[in-house]
Structure 1
Amino acid sequence: MMASYLAQEVQLARRHDKILSQRSVLLQQMENHLGDKKTEHTLQMLAADAAYKRNAALLNDIEATEKRLQARIHLQSHPDIVKIETLYWASVEESIPKWEQFLLGRAQTPVGFEKKNLIKYNVSHPEEAAQR
């Protein structure tokens, strides 16, 4: 009977060692995985930071170019052209609320749009309108 207890004790000790060995391997794998995740996160943060800086620099370049072009246009433009452009953009901004729902696909063409175009067409091309 003592021999069977000793055999069981040896068998349990071997199982215990095997379990501890597997536990050690799993812990090492978890540490490696965590290290890989940290490295991956660090690389992603560096890439995101680089992209942010690149985008900020591009935006600054675009804004600077836009300012230079605006300054050049206004220096070279005749005052009447500047006035017409200003009135045009004011008109566009005024009509945005009318068109916003249409452009978002939530409504039909604003009321009066088609009629205005037909009236303009008839006034500017009365002979062609009469043929219709």
Structure 2
Amino acid sequence: MAAAAPQHMDFRDKHEEILGRRAQLLEQMESHRDQLLVQRKQQLKEVEAARHRNHTLLQELDKIEERLRGKQLPHPNVLALETRYWMSVEESIPAWEHFLLGKGLHPTDNPVQPHRRAKQKPGTAKNQGLPPRPKPRPAR
């Protein structure tokens, strides 16, 4: 019987230790659950705010679409000019690409300069079909 008493004491100590660890784990689980609840509430608030923001953006887009539907298209000449402008921009991209990437010279620094029209002398304007220049008038 004497040997049973220390063994009984060991069991009782282990039982108390297990109960203590169980209580700690229960506390940790409860605090973790509380943290999850707080996170969930925060996520719900964020989701609701995002939903409201998206709804507002969609309404604004609808208003913009309605305004754009009511506007007339630009004049065909303006559209043609715009198309030609963008075509010239696309054609000049290769010339500028090397410069913008830092691999070459500025496109206007080409050693081969395009031919420019020579300046006309005042007397040669009549020969080219241009109207004569106005004569200077004396000041009053």
- TM-score bracket, shorter-length normalisation: 0.5 to 0.7
Correspondence for 1:32 among 31, 34, 56 = 34
TM-score, length-scaled by structure 2 = 0.56
User: Aligned in 2, Cα 1:31/1:66: closer, same or farther, shift over 3 Å?
Assistant: same
1:52 matched to which residue of 2?
54
TM-score, length-scaled by structure 1 = 0.58
1:90 pairs with 2:83:
yes
User: By how many angstroms is 1:18 displaced?
Assistant: 0.5
Greater helix percent: which structure?
1
Deviations 1:35-84 (A, max 9, x none): 2333233222222221211111111222223344x33x86xxxxxxx243
Q: What are the ranges of 5 or more consecutive residues in structure 2 without an aligned counterpart? A: 122-140
Q: What are the ranges of 5 or more consecutive residues in structure 1 without an aligned counterpart? A: 75-81, 128-132
Count of aligned positions: 112
| Deviation >4 Å, runs of 4+ | 99-103, 105-112
RMSD (Å) for aligned C-alpha atoms = 3.8
